């Protein structure tokens, strides 16, 4: 296992690099026909489904603005259906359940390298990934990659390949670290069950800090794993057949994310709360319909 990991990581890295060529293809399309007239049919592209990597929180503020300000509609979509995660989107892309997945480069790269999945990355939200190994300052206090050696690190199944990447990038053998399977709740770190916890700088790290703990972060991007994150991924076939559609979709995304950085913070927070609450309500309605369809439990 220890000897095959570097080879696997190299294959994933190569797959990610090859897949990112699609970004250049779309960029070339975008610069070549800027003078094209607007589409006559406002719903020329119809409906598409987009799998989100996580629940509908601040990670998707750009998407929320694209909905709110009509950028998807302007781009020619009758509807863009955003589906809450967590989900890498790989299986749904390959089955055709969704057309676009907001995923991560490691998951897509692993699918390409290990399964020969016909997938491409066509864009990215984060130019610098926010992955981190989170620890407590008065605990393991993991400040450098070498501090990982001999430690118990909580890693989610979906992030196993990303964790393997930081070990490989820093010459650490997998058998030098004890991986403990965890979910995304950082409670095991706060309870002392693990020394470190794989997290997002913009999510679990803030959760633990707000709970009153002094924290230490070991950011992936500053320690040998500087790849992009929250990537837009599609199948090879969908890219080949829908370049204009995907170009229009990405332009709407750019407009939405531009609004995130140009609007007052309180406006963005309010919008995020609205879409988060809508998602929560949708989930509650779904559960109510499921349980409502069940026969009452008979007692006595």
* CA atoms of 25 and 47, how far apart (whole Å): 23
DSSP 38: P
3-state secondary structure of 213: coil
**What's the CATH number where 263 sits?**
3.40.190.10
Residue 294 CA to its chain's centroid (Å): 35
| pLDDT tens digits, one per residue of 231-288 | 999 999 999 999 999 999 999 999 999 999 999 888 999 999 999 877 766 655 543 4
Point out the domain boundary residue: 222, 249, 270.
Answer: 222
Q: Is residue 258 part of a domain?
A: yes
| pLDDT tens digits, one per residue of 160-213 | 988 999 999 999 999 999 999 999 999 999 999 999 999 999 889 999 999 999
* Beta bridge pairs of residue 196: 153
| pLDDT tens digits, one per residue of 135-164 | 999 999 999 999 999 999 999 998 898 899
| 118 and 263 fall within a common domain | yes
Q: Which structural domain, as residue segments, surrounds residue 170?
A: 131-222
Q: For residue 5, what are its two tokens?
A: 């990991």
CA neighbor of 11 nearest in space, from 117, 165, 121, 114: 114
| 145 and 162 fall within a common domain | yes
pLDDT value at residue 21:
39
| 25 and 64 fall within a common domain | yes
pLDDT over 90 percentage in the chain: 64
Length of the chain: 300
Structural domain count, the chain: 2
């Amino acid at each position: 296992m220890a000897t095959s990991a570097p080879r696997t990581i190299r294959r994933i890295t190569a797959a990610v690099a090859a897949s990112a060529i699609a970004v250049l293809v779309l960029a070339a399309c975008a610069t070549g026909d800027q003078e094209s007239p607007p589409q006559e049919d406002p719903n020329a592209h119809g409906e598409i489904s987009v799998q989100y990597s996580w629940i509908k929180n601040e990670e998707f503020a750009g998407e929320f603005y694209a909905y709110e300000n009509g950028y998807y509609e302007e781009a020619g979509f009758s509807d863009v259906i955003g589906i809450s995660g967590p989900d890498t989107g790989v299986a749904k892309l390959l089955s055709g359940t969704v057309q676009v997945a907001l995923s991560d480069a490691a998951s897509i790269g692993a699918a390409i390298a290990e399964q020969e999945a016909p997938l491409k990355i066509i864009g990215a939200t984060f130019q610098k990934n926010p992955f981190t190994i989170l620890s407590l300052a008065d605990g393991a206090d993991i400040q450098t990659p070498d501090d990982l050696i001999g430690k118990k690190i909580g890693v989610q199944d979906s992030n196993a390949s990303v964790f393997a990447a930081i070990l490989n990038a820093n010459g650490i053998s997998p058998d030098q670290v004890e991986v403990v399977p965890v979910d995304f709740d950082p409670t095991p770190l706060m309870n002392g069950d693990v020394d470190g916890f794989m997290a997002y700088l913009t999510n679990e790290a803030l959760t633990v800090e707000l709970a009153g703990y002094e924290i230490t972060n070991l950011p992936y991007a500053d320690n040998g794993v500087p790849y992009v994150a929250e990537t837009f991924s599609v199948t090879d076939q969908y890219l080949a057949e829908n370049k204009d559609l995907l170009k229009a979709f990405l332009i709407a995304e750019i407009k939405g994310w531009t609004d995130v950085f140009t609007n007052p913070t309180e406006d963005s927070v309010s919008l995020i709360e609205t879409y988060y609450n809508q998602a929560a309500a949708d989930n509650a309605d779904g559960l109510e319909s499921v349980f409502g369809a069940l026969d009452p439990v008979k007692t006595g």
